Each structure stands twice: as C-alpha cells, then as structure tokens.
Amino acid sequence: MPAIELLTIRVPSELKRWLEEEAYRRRTSMNRAMVAILHEVSLIQPSTLVDVHSAPTTKSAKKSVSLPDDDWLRDLLLDYTDWIPFDALNDNEWWIAMSQPLEGVFDRAWLNKEFGKITAYLIEKPRKQPRSAQGWKTFVRGWLQRAYEHQRKYTYG
C-alpha cells in the first residue's frame, strides 16, 4: 500500500471544522489528530503513514576551524577577551569570509581600532551585548561592515 501524505488530503468543510475541534481538544496539530482518528476507526494502518513531522528540518551545524596559533588575528582577539568572547569569534573560515568584502582595510591596526570602539560601546551599553556565538558574529560583522562603509564614503585619498 503506498504511503499517504496527510498534508495533501482535501476534506469537506464540515469535516475540517470537526477535525479542528478534535485537534484542539487533543492539543495537537490537525494532521496528527486526523492520523489518530483514522487509526482509531481502523481506516488506515499506522505503518502506511508518512509522518511529516519526524523528518529533520534543520541543517546540522558546521564544525568551525579555529584560528591558527601564530595568527595575528588570534592575538588581537585575545587582547579583548574582557568584553569580547574569544570562543565565539575563533572561526578561521568565518574570518576569511569576513575579510573578502573588507579588502584594503582589513589589517591589524584597523581591526584594533574597531575592536576598541566595540569595547567602549559595550562598556557604555552592556545590555546590547550579544548572547550567543552566532549573535557575536552577526554583531561584529555588522559593526565592521558599517565601519568600512563609513571609511569608504568619508575618507579621501
């Protein structure tokens, strides 16, 4: 017997209203309520169903590669560990991707200046501090991109 995809079943409006009430009563989704009801009245066998909710929906997180021990960027990040978590930004592939659009300004002196500004900002507004590693990457990426655009627009020469 072929598998049944429950999301594509069309039902009359009265039956749909009853299924919505039944789903609410059972505190579950309409599809799960329909499966349970059809199974209870023996219209289908549980082995013939495809559970659309059991399929994995998220991608697995990619393992990050740490910065090399002799990298100047690693040393720079370690200088700011009082306010910026090193572990959140210790991702070599992310920094390589970050440096591409910042061509020409991405050096130790420029990053040192920007991380100093980030630290001062977080001291003044500690509630703005990101909570997760991904949040830190987003925060730093946005900060550096805005700084680059500001420098590109307003620096002559």
Under DSSP, is residue 90 helix (H, G, I), strand (E, B) or coil? coil
140 shares a domain with 91: yes
Render the burial of 25-54: b for 16+ CB within 10 Å, e for the rest. eeeeebbbbbbeebeeeeeeeeeebeeeee
Asked whether residue 28 falls in the same domain as residue 76, the answer is no
Do 26 and 97 fall into the same domain?
A: no
Quote the pLDDT of residue 89.
92
User: Amino acid identity of 157?
Assistant: G
3 state SS of 111: helix
58 in any annotated domain = no
Q: Nearest 5 degrees, angle CA 43-CA 47-CA 49?
A: 70
Count how many domains the chain has: 2
Q: Is residue 64 part of a domain?
A: no
Asked whether residue 102 carries a pLDDT value surpassing 90, the answer given is no
In the structure, what pLDDT confidence band is assigned to residue 70 with cuts at 50, 70 and 90?
Answer: confident
**Model confidence at 87: pLDDT above 80:** yes
Q: Are residues 40 and 106 in the same domain?
A: no
Give the domain extent around 117: 72-154
pLDDT surpassing 50 at residue 108: yes
CA-based torsion, 101, 155, 141, 93: positive or negative: positive
For 89-103, what is the mean pLDDT?
Answer: 88
**Prediction pTM value:** 0.59
Note whether 78 and 124 are same-domain residues: yes
pLDDT in tens, 113-144: 999 999 999 999 999 999 999 999 999 999 99
